[in-house]
Chain A
Amino acid sequence: MNYLALHPARVAALAAAHLELVGIALLVALAIALPLGLWAARRPSVEPWLLGTLGAIYTIPSLALLAGFVQWLGLGFMPIFVVLIVYAQFMLARNVVAGIRGVDPFQIDAARGLGMSPRQVLARVEFPQALPVLIGGVRIAAIAMISIATLGGYVGGVGLGVLIFDGLTLHQPQMIVAGSLVACVLAIAVDASLRSVERRASS
């Protein structure tokens, strides 16, 4: 706690960098997972192997995955950024599939029968109705990503992990506690705010 009180500006800057890393990674991950999930939702033959593959990647320990990407991308921002994007795919794509599949087929039949084009059916009926499930996936992914992002500190990345790993190297438990605590608070805050968005989207 001491470290937090003595260096609030540094902790705040690291927390901001942490959120920025997770936020950008989340947006990129969504841009990939949305079309992937939509593709799997449309083609029942694609779903098992897509989600199977993403699920298998998801089971790789995050540290091992990070080490692999460091070999390829070097130290710094990139390896943890890519790890976060890869990791989020399973959680996001799975919820895109579930959300789209969960839409009442009669509403889709009505939408088509009334003269919506396939794109309009997606934009006006399927997507709005899948949104709560989709946001649920974003929420779960965001929480996991906030936690995994701390590993970035180990490979010269940005964010609260820097505090944790510096604390480890310098034998300063206070830094470790400060970094972990703030990461927890971020996760809880993101969870709570996305929960409220989720509720609003489903009402």
Chain B
Amino acid sequence: MSATVAFERVTVRYSGASSNAVEDVSFELGGGELIVLLGPSGCGKSTLLRTVNRLVPVESGRVVVDGANVAEVDPVELRRHIGYAIQAVGLFAHMTVAENVAVVPSLLGWKTAEIDARVDELLQLVGLQPDIYRNRRPSGLSGGEAQRVGVARAIAGRPRALLMDEPFGAVDVLARTALQGELIRIVRSLGTTTLFVTHDVDEAFRLADRIVVMRNGRVEHVGVPLELFDAPATPYVRDLVHAGDEVYRRYFVHAREQLRSGTS
């Protein structure tokens, strides 16, 4: 059910760009693992995420999902089995909430009754009452509600892996904390391999099994969250997480534990 994803010396260059957007990146996601790609805007983290479902082609190297080089499989088929959620959410404005959530199951050819049941199940899973939200339009949702629908839509087709590009970037802090808690709960219960992009150190610490820090297209550090603190691989990572500052360390540990204890 949950896929493995491997980046093998992946380099991405946008046409016309003078430097590589992603440069020689290698790491692996184990089945069911949640890896957070952390870095400043423009560091190549979103680009790297988009190589997994082939929205961005690699210049050299390979992205391997469940043993298959994604460059050698049909991109449309590939994407239907990889969940995708983005900061802007991109809910289809002319469709209802239910129709949005049903997009991938209907592309996969599920039966109507099966889709209807799945939509209700998912809305409940992301904390939206189906009776209230099913027939709403995206224009009638708050930012947080839209993000929830975006998550529901991403996992509706029971994907093998999940790609999330700052999916909670556009909501306020309270809503974001709630969404993070629910994401952990959902991803744990589904066991879906997840690649999550953020520029928010705090968010990375809360969510990640492992964190990959990127800068200027390169990987600076791959490790479990506390390792960033206790053994930062580069000065950049040290400064990013305020390594050595016990106040930050305690805060991050506390936030992470609180998020997890509240949901398990």
Contacts and interface: CB of A to CB of B under 8 A. Distances in A.
Contacts of A112: 55, 79
A114 interface: yes
Contact of A111 (B89, B92, B163): B92
A166 B77 CA distance: 65
Given A109-B55, A109-B86, A113-B55, A104 B93 contact: yes
Contacts of A193: none
Interface string B65-88: 000000000001111110010101
Interface string B104-123: 10010000000000000000
Interface in B155-208: 157, 163
Contacts, number: 61
Given A113-B55, A114-B153, A106 B76 contact: no
B250 interface: no
Contacts of A50: none
B53 interface: yes
Contacts of B29: none
B244 interface: no
Interface secondary structure of A, over-half rule: helix
16 contacts: A104-B93, A106-B88, A107-B93, A109-B88, A110-B84, A110-B89, A111-B90, A111-B92, A111-B103, A112-B79, A113-B79, A114-B104, A114-B107, A115-B77, A115-B80, A115-B81
A114 B78 CA distance: 9
Contacts of B153: 110, 114
Leading 8 A-B pairs by shortest Cβ distance = A110-B90, A115-B80, A113-B84, A115-B79, A106-B88, A106-B90, A107-B90, A128-B94
A71 to B, nearest CB: 47
A125 interface: yes
Interface residues of B, number: 24
A129 interface: yes
Interface string A102-122: 001011111111111100100
Nearest to B107: A115
A103 B84 CA distance: 19
Contact of B107 (A108, A110, A120, A128): A120
Given A107-B93, A111-B103, 17 more contacts: A104-B88, A109-B86, A110-B91, A110-B92, A110-B153, A111-B90, A112-B55, A113-B53, A113-B79, A113-B163, A114-B103, A114-B107, A115-B76, A115-B78, A115-B80, A120-B107, A124-B92
A112 B86 CA distance: 12
Nearest to B150: A110
Contacts of B93: 104, 107, 129
A110 B86 CA distance: 8
Given A110-B86, A116-B107, A120-B107, A125 B79 contact: no
